[in-house]
Amino acid sequence: MRILLVSSSSGSRGGGELFLLSLAEALRALGHEPSLWASNHPQMDELARKFYPIGPVRRESYLNTYDRRFRSFSDAGDLRSGRRLAATWRRLAPDVVHLNKQNLEDGLDLIWAARFASLATVCTIHVTQTARYLNARHGWARDAVARAVLHRYPGRLVAIGASRRSDLNRFLGWHNGKGAALVENGVPLPSRQDLARLRHETRLRLGLHDDHLLGLGVGRMVEQKRPRLFLEYAAQLAASEPRAKFCWVGDGPLRPQWEAEVGRQALNDRVLTPGWTQEVLPYYAAADFFLHTAAYEGLPLALLEAMGSGLPCVVTSNLYNDLEFLQLARVLRAGEEGWVAALACAHQRQALGERCRDLVARRYSVERMARDYLALYELAVAGK
């Protein structure tokens, strides 16, 4: 099957773009032919470069929602863009077009393109919390515009987690059998041998001793990920655990505030900030626990990757209550009674990490994700 994966083109380093790469690799491994459509904006160069070994890449002029002056109000009515993209997709002649949207409001002109193209199509939406919920400016109006256009989508909308599907169905007023499909994200599971080798190499490179306790965060330095909250919890841990060190892998506009906060909390000798890297697995292998402080998420790949690497995970209460799989894995909640003591105990860390890895192996494999999407593609091609 020929699958055209369409990026809403907001950047190359977010979870949605990593999702596209993982899905494409898994589809190719199963004998299918994925290709990528993306904007020719320089911010998409990295994604295109990573995709080339997997399959063909088609790029053309396209203005992402958040590069438009009036954002979703602009692209929701941009039928000219929709018709132009539809013509491109028809010429590429895929069996199915898979749209990849970061949230409810981005890429609304892609919805029109899918409608005009008259090709089999599915659409994944990663973050389904509303603009009003996220306290965005003019949130009610932005939600109304997104809702109106999404109702015109000719294919199946897909959510990446049970909570996100509930959000999406509620947003669109779907009930009584009509609703979004559910395909939970999946990640590759690294071998224990690779993890052991990388742990030794990476801790040596980072200057860590065997008794150091390394807490890891991964993500862009933006408000959603709350890197400063990560440092607040790091300071709490450091005050009671002299072995504790911390590392944040990622970069972004909050980097200056991060560095100032590291100094203010007197954590300069405790915190490592290597910036952005294309290979995060060595850091998962080197770490002793994973601390995730985001304000909201779809189904975070970084968290699944950490769990798959056998790391005990700590999240904030808002995520724990929102993402049901975290309760199955019995992850720790930052600030709850006993969380620091649990991380300080090697036996407890191992038990918690094994439970996390087992859950990812059983439920969140990238092959399972690809097969679930293939089933939806086949239904779309059959017109069901």
> In terms of domains, do 169 and 274 share one?
no
> In terms of domains, do 82 and 139 share one?
yes
Grouping H, G, I as helix, E, B as strand and the rest as coil, residue 102 is strand
> In terms of domains, do 68 and 176 share one?
yes
Which DSSP helix (H) or strand (E) runs through 196? helix 192-206
> In terms of domains, do 241 and 126 share one?
no
294-303 pLDDT tens trace:
998 988 999 9
Residue 136 has pLDDT above 90, yes or no: no
What is the residue range of 197's domain? 192-363
> In terms of domains, do 164 and 207 share one?
no
> In terms of domains, do 169 and 202 share one?
no
CB 123 within 8 A of CB 156: yes
Distance CA 353, CA 372 (A): 27
* pLDDT the model gives residue 19: 95
Work out the mean pLDDT of the chain and round it to a whole number: 95
* pLDDT the model gives residue 62: 95
Number of domains in the chain: 2
Distance CA 377, CA 250 (A): 34
Distance CA 383, CA 119 (A): 10
In CATH, what number is assigned to the domain containing residue 329? 3.40.50.2000
> In terms of domains, do 161 and 294 share one?
no
> In terms of domains, do 21 and 154 share one?
yes
User: Structure pTM?
Assistant: 0.92
In the structure encoding, which two tokens stand for residue 198, read together? Answer: 């990388």
Distance CA 243, CA 261 (A): 20
Residue 255 has pLDDT above 80, yes or no: yes
> In terms of domains, do 214 and 331 share one?
yes
> In terms of domains, do 261 and 144 share one?
no
161-185 pLDDT tens trace:
999 999 999 999 998 778 999 999 9
* pLDDT the model gives residue 88: 98
> In terms of domains, do 163 and 202 share one?
no
> In terms of domains, do 359 and 306 share one?
yes
Distance CA 100, CA 98 (A): 6
Strand partners of residue 39: 60
Q: In whole angstroms, what separates CA 307 from the centre of its chain?
A: 14
